[in-house]
Structures are given as C-alpha cells and as structure tokens.
Amino acid sequence: MTCIKEQPFLPIIIQSGQHAYGVARSFYEAYRIKSLVIEPTVKGATMRSLFLGGSQGIATQNSSILDFHYVERLDDPTHFVQALIEVAMQCQQNKLILIVCDCYYAELIIENKERLETYFILPYIDQALLKKVQTKEKFYQLCDQYKLNYPKTMIITNEHHAVSELPFQYPIIIKPSNAVTYTHCSFPEKKKIFLANNASEMQYIIRSIYRSSYEDSLIVQEFIPGDDSSIRVLDVFVGRDHKVKLMCVSNKLLEDPSPQNKGISLAVMTDYDEQLMDSIRYFLEDIGYTGFANFDMKYDARDGIYKLFEMNLRAGASSYYVTASGHNLMQYMVDDYLLGVYHERTYVQTKHLWSLLPLKTLFKHMNNEKLKLEAKRLVKEGQYTDALLYKEDMNIKRWMKLKLYNQYLHVKYSKYFNESDG
C-alpha cells in the first residue's frame, strides 16, 4: 500500500460503494486530494458485490480521486484496532482522518476511540453517549424525553414475543432494534425491514428472526401511509464544541425496493423545514453530540407530523447531496477538527437533485407528479448531480463501466418496481 506523501492530510474511508465515492469526491472538490478507501479482504466476489459494494464496488473502481486497499481482518472486532494501526503506520507521514460508511464500523471506532485517536482524527461521539443511542429502542426513549415524534411502537424480546394484541392497526413494520448485530445474522427470510399484514404474518416473521443468531429486541411499529416521497432524510455535522454547524434535509424520490437494501436512497432532492431542523438541533446539542449524524423519518399526512425512524452515527449513504447543494460536508469537518476554522450554523436551503439511478429510470418510477416536475426543472437548470458520474474523474474504463452499471440499475430496479406494483 502506498500513501500520498505530499498531501497535508489523508482521508481514510472504510467500506467501498457509492457512499465512499461521495465522501472521496467531497474531499477532492474541497482540497484536490486523494482519499484512501479500505475494506476487509474477501475470499470471493459475486456479481452483486462487484456492482453494489464489497470486493471494491464499481463506484470506486478506476477512479483517479482515490486509492483502494484491502485490509486483512478489518471486519474482525478482535483485530480491528490492530488492522487500522497497521494502516496508519504505513501512512505515518500524513494527518489521517478516519471516515466510515457503515454503522458497524462507526460503533467499532467509538468503542475503541481512546486507542485509535493516537493515530487518527476521529469525528465521532464517545462511548458513554453511544450507550444512550446505540439501538432504536434507546433512541426512542430519548425521543420521548425530547418530545420528538416517532411511529407508535411496541418492543418485542426473544423471551416475550407472543403478542396477542397490538395498540395499532395492521399493516405493521417489524425491524431489528440493533441493526449492527442484525447485520451479522443469517436466515432464509431475512430482510432489512419487514411488512406484516396480519397477526399470523407477524408471528411468522418474529419466529424466523429469533431462530437466527439475532438476540436483541425487535421493533414492531405502525406503518405510516405514503410512498417514498413522504420520507425525509436529515444529515448533520456537529462541531467539537457540540454545536450544529451544518444541517440539510432531503426529500426521498425513490428508495431501494430490494429486500436486502430497503430504505437506502436511490434519489433525493433537498428540502427545507426550519422547525424540524431546530428540533433535531436542540436534541443533538443537548445530549452533547459531535461529528456526523443521519436521521430517517416519514411525513404522516394524517396529522401533519414527521415521525422519526432511526438515527445513524455517521453521514447518510446519500449524503453527497449536501455537498452537491453547495455546502461541502467534509470541508465543514476538516475546518472544525483539523484547521480550527469556526463556522456559524447553516441550514441548507439550496434546491438540488441527487440520483444514483439513471434519470430515465428515476422519472419512469416516480409516482409524485409534483416532485417529478420539480426534479425535471432542476435538471434543466443544472441543479442535478449523478452520484457516480464526475467529469473530473473520468477515463475510458470508468466511463464504460458506469454506462454498463446504469443499464444494470435500469433493468434491476425496473424489475423490482414492476413486482411491487403488481
């Protein structure tokens, strides 16, 4: 592995994929520096891993704005710290900033922060705060304390999961409280989020989950009506002084319909809601948060209230939309953690469209005609960013792969959307 000696600092990004590419792109746009993307060595590569992340996803292949390196046993909690120290020792001429694109690695960094901060700049909370927000169940307890709204919820445990009656109507959502431990369990019916239409479906799903290695609580939650366009994503950076420096809300246009990746944004458009931002800002500042955070929520047309789903201890997978809107998310972090540049609070109001999907696929499957017209207007006005096509990072190999990838996305998601419509 080689590291760029002449750079003033080196961003090290854990886990490849479009999120990692967006982070590297933000650093390159701000400082014209290359990032190092690392992920654990894998024994084999599948077509899915090549396209969607893992085994160096196509997003980071043939790129001139980043270097890529496999790291042995990076995903092993018992070897994680040593693996990162070995990376740091090979890059000791640089100031190193460690950025994660996955909640699993975010928690590992926080749990080992004291050992790692000798080698890296770490824009993350400490372990004491992690214990208060680590699961959805704990996050909802904080929501109660700070009067933040979330869907009507029941907590199910492995010991007590025989539910005779629910305090809300079907259909319902079932999801793990601990997303990190759920990631590592396996069973045939596994999905990121489950929808149950009746009691028998609910019991079948719960039994299936608890037959796996998953042992933590489950969240049983009312289903908030509305399509993808009712979902909002909020990304934020909080400085070391525990004050919010940058906050941006986006309106989802489409999310991934595949069972394994349900909830991941495929296209978003920036939005603005000062009251919502103020409520989240107060919450983050009051609990002493620092670093990146990401919130998923849905607008409930029945009462006109946003209902929070979860909080992630990192920037969102689609968070490059913040940089694309004219407010570079990574630059705010570098200014705060490395350069000592003070920023007043900014709530982003610039309208911008970000999409991983080709536009023909996006517009074909958007149901909200008002948002579709607005998205098309933003494209015409040049306020549009393709997640992976970047003119300053283009060569014939990358161009050809991304064109093929776009065709793959079009076929794949047309299939999923057609199945869901049927």
How many Å apart are CA 289 and CA 312, to the nearest integer? 12
Q: Is 162 exposed, middle or buried (0-12, 13-18, 19+ CB in 10 A)?
A: exposed
Q: What is the mean pLDDT of residues 244-252?
A: 98
Fold that domain 152-222 belongs to in CATH: Dna Ligase; domain 1 (3.30.1490)
Give the pLDDT band (50/70/90) at residue 420: low
Give the pLDDT band (50/70/90) at residue 42: confident
**Distances, alpha carbon 330 to alpha carbons 29, 62, 96, 238, in Å:** 10, 22, 14, 12
**Distances, alpha carbon 321 to alpha carbons 10, 60, 201, 230, 248, in Å:** 22, 18, 37, 18, 9
Tell me if residue 61 falls in helix, strand or coil. Answer: coil
Give me the residue label for tokens 């469209």. Answer: 353
pLDDT exceeds cutoff 70 at 16:
yes
The tokens describing 145, both together, are 């304390």
pLDDT exceeds cutoff 50 at 46:
no
**Distances, alpha carbon 32 to alpha carbons 65, 158, 231, 348, in Å:** 8, 51, 34, 24
pLDDT exceeds cutoff 90 at 416:
no
The CATH code of domain 228-421 reads: 3.30.470.20
Looking at residue 258, its pLDDT comes to 75
Q: Collect contacts of 225-229 with beta carbons under 8 A, ≥24 apart.
A: 225/300, 225/301, 225/302, 226/298, 226/299, 226/300, 226/301, 227/367, 227/368, 228/252, 228/253, 228/254, 228/255, 228/367, 229/253, 229/366, 229/367, 229/368, 229/371
C-beta separation of 177 from 219 below 8 A: yes
Each domain of the chain, given as residue ranges in start order, spans 9-122, 152-222, 228-421
How many Å apart are CA 150 and CA 420, to the nearest integer? 26
C-beta separation of 236 from 215 below 8 A: no
Residues 292-326: tens digit of each pLDDT: 999 999 999 999 999 999 999 999 999 999 999 99
The larger pLDDT score, comparing residue 100 to residue 163, is at 100
9-122 domain in CATH 1.10.287.70?
A: no
Give the pLDDT band (50/70/90) at residue 19: very high
Q: Is 228-421 in the same CATH topology as 152-222?
A: no
Tell me if residue 98 falls in helix, strand or coil. Answer: strand
C-beta separation of 123 from 100 below 8 A: no
Looking at residue 369, its pLDDT comes to 95
Residues 94-115: tens digit of each pLDDT: 799 999 999 999 999 999 999 9
Please, what is the Cα angle at 162 between 157 and 166, to 5 degrees?
95
> Which amino acid, 48?
R
CA-based max dimension of the chain? 65
Give the pLDDT band (50/70/90) at residue 4: low
The larger pLDDT score, comparing residue 153 to residue 259, is at 153
